[in-house]
A and B are shown apart, each in its own frame.
Chain A
Amino acid sequence: GAGVSQSPSNKVTEKGKDVELRCDPISGHTALYWYRQSLGQGLEFLIYFQGNSAPDKSGLPSDRFSAERTGGSVSTLTIQRTQQEDSAVYLCASSLQANYGYTFGSGTRLTVV
Chain B
Amino acid sequence: QQPVQSPQAVILREGEDAVINCSSSKALYSVHWYRQKHGEAPVFLMILLKGGEQKGHEKISASFNEKKQQSSLYLTASQLSYSGTYFCGTASVGSGNTPLVFGKGTRLSVIA
Contact = CB atoms under 8 A, between A and B. Distances in A.
A99 interface: yes
A42 B98 CA distance: 18
Contact of A48 (B34, B47, B99): B99
Interface stretch (A67-75, A80-88, A101-109): A101-109
Interface in B94-110: 96-105
Contacts of B97: 31, 50, 55, 98-99
Interface stretch (B12-20, B36-44, B72-80): B36-44
Contacts of B30: 99
A100 B47 contact: yes
B98 A107 contact: no
B42 A91 contact: yes
Contacts of A102: 32, 34, 42, 44, 89, 100
Interface in B25-57: 29-30, 32, 34, 40-44, 46-47
A99 B102 contact: no
B104 A99 contact: no
A42 B32 contact: no
Q: Identify which of B43, B47, B99 gathers the most chain A CB atoms within 10 Å of its CB.
A: B99
Contact of A45 (B47, B101, B105): B101
B22 to A, nearest CB: 12
Give the 10 A-B residue pairs with the shortest CB-CB distance, closest first: A98-B97, A104-B41, A101-B44, A43-B102, A42-B104, A48-B99, A104-B42, A106-B41, A33-B99, A42-B102
